Structure 1
Amino acid sequence: MTTEYTGGSDPKRIMELLWGAPERVRRGPKPRLSVDQIVAVATEIADAEGLAALSMRRVAERLGVTAMSLYTYVPGKAELLDLMLDRVCAETAKPEDVPGGWRARLQLVARETWALYLRHPWLLHVATNRPVLGPNLIARYDYELRAVEGTGLTDIEMDLVVTMVNDYVHGAVRSALAAVALPRDSGKTDDEWWEELAPLLDKVYDADRFPVASRVGTAAGTEYAAALDPARAFEFGLARILDGIAVLISRGAPD
């Protein structure tokens, strides 16, 4: 799927839309729609069908208006995407009191981000190298940084730790999303796929040739009742990431 990029919108207009600048004076009847309504419908379309299905025309159809009328609210798809991203960033929980110190706080950040991707799979296809500087995204970044505030890390190290955790989640969640999408897209469950493949594999597979793969693969397959367990792999990897951060903090965060 094609990657979409944030930051391609008109700077002045997107800042007005993100930060709630006063509405432009309109002549005539009261507007039928709000920007929030438009962004909510666009998000629903992307959630259900992906970013490839998203267009100003499609959103207009869902709202029962003409595509041209949407442009009086949102200048184009670039601005719409930026607004969508900032909107979903508001969904992550940001409790102030999290028992367990920095580790529990970072764990919460990672799990909330994991859940956000599962709700909005299109986020995997949005590159944020030029981030949307909206209130919800900045609030989320501030909360993530405060997870490691006071640990002795420098400001740059705090940013790098948060980036590392988010990059890990971004990569780990792909297999979870694929596990959800594959049965739907292929029309075949994992059990059906395996029942069809297993007899054929038995004819060619030599366990003595691949003893470690055979032993570990059998143990894993029995444990997971599948080829992999994305949620379990995510938690295991997250724990190891946090272990590494603990070493960094205990050593005074050397370069």
Structure 2
Amino acid sequence: MNTDTTRTRKFFNRITVAVLAVIVSLLCTACPQNGGGAPGNNTPSYTQVPFAQLDNYLNTTASDSTVNYIEVTGLTKDAVRGTITTASPLGEILKAHPSKKVALKFGGKIEGLTSMGSCFDDCETLVQVSGIPEGVTNMGSCFYGCTNLRQAPVIPESVEAIYFCFSHCTNLKQAPVIPANVTDMYKCFLDCENLQNVVLKCNYNPARDSSNKPYFEDTFDGCTALTAGGIKVPAGQLETYKTNADVMGVTEDKFAAE
């Protein structure tokens, strides 16, 4: 909304401008805090929504035209864990509203949470996530098929398994730092065609799973935008990673010491 800043000598016009300013101020105060997106200073303002009310909020209040910044509160461990065939209850609610783009923030600690397997499986409207709770160890397939996810969340140091975690996130450009405790990266970034670089704090794991597949197999298969030296690894592990580059779906020139 344009604001008239012209100063005149007429007292009546001065009063009119002042009154309009007050009205505009009141209207802005009455508007929702997130406005469907980030405010002018580029710092997103999240609207807190209890998990029990999330479906109704997306259906009746959330914007169809801009990103909705939502902090979900009242989550339980069962609400963020999916199955082999479905996303978590949280993810299924997001998928039920395909016109509502969401930047989601976790609202606090989730008691007893260890697994976020398939949490956001195929949530194509998810653009950003922040505040992954501490204590989670398994994020297998967590963001599988989230084709509009551009910036990955910070992964807690407690995480050990990220198999298929970002597979088919075709617009992912900024990868998270992979924590030192990770031992399973099977196809983690499969077909992330826009991914350019990533930092691995973990050692290469030469072991195989119960199906005799290497735990780090095809981690970067299909990551065609990776730059030379774009995968930073611990200096003492550089040669090991280079030796196993083919297993991970890349060429050895993609690895460099951090």
TM-score (normalizing by structure 1) = 0.26
Specify which structure has the higher proportion of helix. Answer: 1
Normalising by structure 2, report the TM-score. 0.26
Of structures 1 and 2, the one scoring higher in RCO (CA 8 A, sep 6+) is: 1
